[in-house]
């Protein structure tokens, strides 16, 4: 298959999967503090004695789902090559950012910003209870100065609820790390039909650039932090496990699978994950990537009203429900993490490659 015929197949982000140490703290944070909905409570299909939790907007829209494997025994993750740095959710409007800052501070969460970023972007940064670095981004038509951004929240009344105007929508971007931006850009172009849109200085660290990768509609849904000094990371608690990009359907996914086979990129083959179909492979730095289909969707085995309210298991795992539930109960009893969490401090320079935890 020619590279041209891959153009437009990858539609943007599908979901981002991370690692949490405690499902209850995780649930309370993502639903009560960030206002998302749990749309699926299940187990990791490759490790069925551990949970897999999905949070998204009300409908489970493609590109809104953040998912977590619960692995209480993993060490704390370290961002680096193979272990992505942060992710960003888009919010509907600029004044949602000071509102989020007020709401999050009242909940005890450390935040940095809002800060003006490249283009018309303005971002607020925080960390979840496991230390995941999360950015909330609003996009303005024009570039704003620090003074403009400071002005945004000036007369804001105290925020006591997450309003419709604040709601997290879909992901703005995911930021893995690369030590070789040229090779990374070639990989996305030749193997996935995605463009290398720009390379900009990282506002938070010298000698680091931001490499934007995307398609015509979304030119930088992946924003690599690029530096020759980048070192090996470790996937653990509080880190991104993999980044999934969306394709429309099985046919488009198969085109990518065949192309990866033709050019010799090792991949998992297509796996039926029940709510979507998945294909896994790694970028040249070892970051785990996935191509997932938009359908069938989270409401395949639950009604839209009750999504995520009970433990659902893929059919082939259902016979082991009693064993799984007993194991999860034991895991919960032995889990030392509790609510309210002690939130990690967000470092002053949130997009710096090296951060103190
Ligand atoms: Fe970012
Ligand atoms: Fe995934």
Ligand 1 centroid – CA 319 distance (Å): 43
* Number of domains into which the chain is organized: 1
Q: Where are the alpha helices (DSSP H) in the chain?
A: 23-27, 96-106, 146-152, 181-192, 250-263, 321-333
Q: For the chain, give the percent of residues with pLDDT over 90.
A: 93
- Please report the sign of the dihedral spanned by the C-alpha atoms of residue 42, residue 45, residue 47, residue 52: negative
- Residue 357 has what pLDDT? 43
Q: Please tell me the distance between residue 278's alpha carbon and the centre of ligand 2 in angstroms.
A: 7
CA of 200 to the centre of ligand 2 (A): 29
The boundaries of the domain holding residue 123 are: 12-333
Residue 276: nearest ligand to its CA?
Answer: 2
Q: Is residue 4 part of a domain?
A: no
Confirm whether 79 is domain-assigned.
Answer: yes
Residue 1 lies in a domain: no
Q: Which ligand is closest to the CA of 16, given by its number?
A: 2
The verdict on residue 355 lying in a domain is no
- Between β-strands 47-56 and 65-70, what pairing exists: parallel, antiparallel or unpaired? antiparallel
Q: Is residue 81 part of a domain?
A: yes
Encode pLDDT of 32-55 as tens digits.
999 999 999 999 999 999 999 999
347 within domain boundaries: no
Closest ligand to C-alpha of residue 122 is: 1
Nearest ligand for residue 14 CA: 2
Mapped onto helix, strand or coil, the DSSP state of residue 353 is coil
User: Is 143 part of any domain?
Assistant: yes
Percent of the chain with pLDDT over 70: 98
Quick one: which H or E segment has residue 8? none
DSSP string covering 137-202, please? EEE-SS---HHHHHHHTTTPPPP-S--TTT---SEEEEE-EES-HHHHHHHHHHHH--EEEEEEE-
Chain centroid, CA 175 distance in Å: 9
Give me the CATH number covering residue 152: 3.10.180.10
From ligand 1's centre to the CA of 315, what distance in Å? 38
pLDDT score for 5: 84
Residue 44 lies in a domain: yes
Please tell me the predicted confidence (pLDDT) of residue 153: 85
CA of 244 to the centre of ligand 2 (A): 6
**DSSP β-ladder status, 37-44 and 12-20:** unpaired
pLDDT, tens digit, for every residue of 130-170?
999 999 999 999 999 999 999 998 888 889 999 999 999 99
**Long-range contacts of residues 197-202, Cβ cutoff 8 Å, at least 24 apart:** 199/226, 200/118, 202/351, 202/352, 202/353
Q: What residue has token string 């029940």? A: 274
Place of tokens 């039909």: 193
């Amino acid at each position: 298959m020619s590279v041209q015929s891959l153009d437009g197949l990858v539609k943007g982000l599908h979901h981002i999967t991370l690692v949490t140490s405690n499902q209850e703290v995780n649930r309370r944070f993502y639903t009560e503090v960030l206002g998302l909905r749990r749309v699926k409570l299940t187990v990791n299909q490759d490790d069925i004695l551990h949970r897999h939790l999905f949070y998204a907007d009300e409908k489970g829209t493609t590109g809104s789902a953040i998912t977590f494997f619960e692995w209480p025994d993993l060490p704390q993750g370290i961002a680096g090559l193979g272990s992505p740095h942060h992710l960003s959710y888009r919010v509907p409007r600029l004044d949602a950012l000071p509102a989020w800052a007020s709401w999050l501070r009242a909940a005890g969460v450390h935040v940095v910003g809002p800060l003006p970023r490249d283009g018309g972007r303005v971002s607020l940064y925080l960390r979840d209870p496991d230390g995941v670095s999360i950015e909330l981004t609003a996009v303005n038509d024009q570039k704003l100065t620090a003074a403009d951004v400071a002005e945004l929240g000036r007369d804001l009344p105290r925020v006591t609820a997450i309003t419709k105007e604040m709601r997290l929508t879909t992901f703005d971007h995911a930021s893995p790390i690369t030590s070789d931006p040229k090779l990374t850009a070639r990989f996305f172009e030749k193997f996935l039909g995605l463009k290398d849109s720009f390379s900009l200085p990282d506002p938070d660290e010298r000698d680091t650039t931001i490499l934007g990768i995307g398609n015509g509609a979304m030119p930088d849904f992946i924003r690599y932090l690029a530096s020759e000094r980048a070192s090996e990371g470790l996937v653990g608690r509080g880190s991104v496990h993999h980044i999934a990009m969306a394709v429309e359907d099985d046919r488009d996914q198969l085109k990518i699978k065949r192309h990866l086979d033709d050019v010799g990129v090792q991949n998992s083959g297509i796996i039926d994950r029940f709510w979507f179909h998945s294909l896994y492979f790694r970028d040249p730095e070892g970051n785990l990537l996935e191509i997932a289909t938009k359908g069938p969707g989270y409401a395949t085995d639950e009604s839209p009203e009750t999504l995520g309210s009970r433990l659902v298991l893929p059919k082939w795992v259902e016979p082991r429900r009693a064993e799984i539930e007993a194991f999860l109960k034991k895991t919960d009893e032995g889990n030392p993490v509790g609510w309210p969490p002690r939130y990690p401090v967000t470092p002053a320079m949130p997009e710096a490659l090296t951060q103190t935890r």
